[in-house]
Structure formats: structure tokens, C-alpha cells
């Protein structure tokens, strides 16, 4: 079971993650929605497409843009459509 944690909270856990470029992408059904807030931030990957971000909110603390996903990725990344990956201090371990 792969698990993502931050600030003492389990953000996501799944046995169905997809690894892309060393990052674990969690299926959308694996996240604990109460910790996620949509962010206005976007970035572009040349082969995956446009990424959207979430701010993480745990115990009143905010970790801005600490999770990202591709809502409509390019063809080569269709397998991670809507899957969520983490950075900025989020601990991901199997």
C-alpha cells in the first residue's frame, strides 16, 4: 500500500498508483478530499500537458500547490488522467 502523508494526516493511500518520472500518482478515489482545495496554479509539461494543482490544508496549515494532476493530459499520459502526485514536503512511501 502506497501512502501520502503531511502534517500528521494521511492524504491518500492506494495499491493502484502509477509511477511516472519517479512520482507516485494516486488514483482520484484514493485521496481524502477533506484535505484538498483547488488552486488557481497551472503548469505545462511538454509530453503530459497542462497540470492543475491542489493546496493541502491540515490542522489549519496550508501547503500551497503541494499536489498536482492532469485533468486532460496528452495522449502519451492518458493513463494518469486525474491521478494525483505530491511534493513540497509530502511524504510518499510504500
Task: Give the residue numbers spanning the domain of 18.
Answer: 2-93
> Can you tell me the distance from the alpha carbon of 93 to that of 79, in angstroms, rounded to the nearest whole number?
21
CATH number of residue 75's parent domain: 2.170.150.40
pLDDT at 91: 98
Q: How far is CA 4 from CA 17, 50, 54, 63, 91, in A?
A: 11, 23, 14, 14, 5
Number of domains comprising the chain:
1
pLDDT at 62: 98
pLDDT average, residue stretch 18-39? 98
Residue 24 pLDDT grade (very low, low, confident, very high; cuts 50, 70, 90): very high
Q: How far is CA 55 from CA 6, 33, 64, in A?
A: 12, 11, 4
pLDDT average, residue stretch 71-91? 98
pLDDT at 79: 97
Residue 63 pLDDT grade (very low, low, confident, very high; cuts 50, 70, 90): very high
How many residues does the structure list for the chain?
94
Sign for the CA dihedral angle at 48, 53, 59, 62 comes to positive
Amino acid at each position: 500500500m502506497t501512502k501520502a502523508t503531511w502534517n500528521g494526516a494521511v492524504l491518500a493511500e492506494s495499491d493502484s498508483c502509477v509511477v511516472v518520472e519517479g512520482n507516485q500518482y494516486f488514483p482520484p478515489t484514493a485521496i481524502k478530499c477533506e484535505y484538498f482545495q483547488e488552486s488557481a496554479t497551472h503548469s505545462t509539461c511538454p509530453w503530459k500537458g497542462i497540470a492543475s494543482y491542489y493546496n493541502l490544508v491540515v490542522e489549519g496549515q496550508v501547503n500551497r500547490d503541494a499536489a498536482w494532476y492532469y485533468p486532460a493530459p496528452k495522449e502519451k499520459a492518458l493513463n494518469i488522467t486525474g491521478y494525483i502526485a505530491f511534493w513540497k514536503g509530502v511524504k510518499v512511501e510504500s
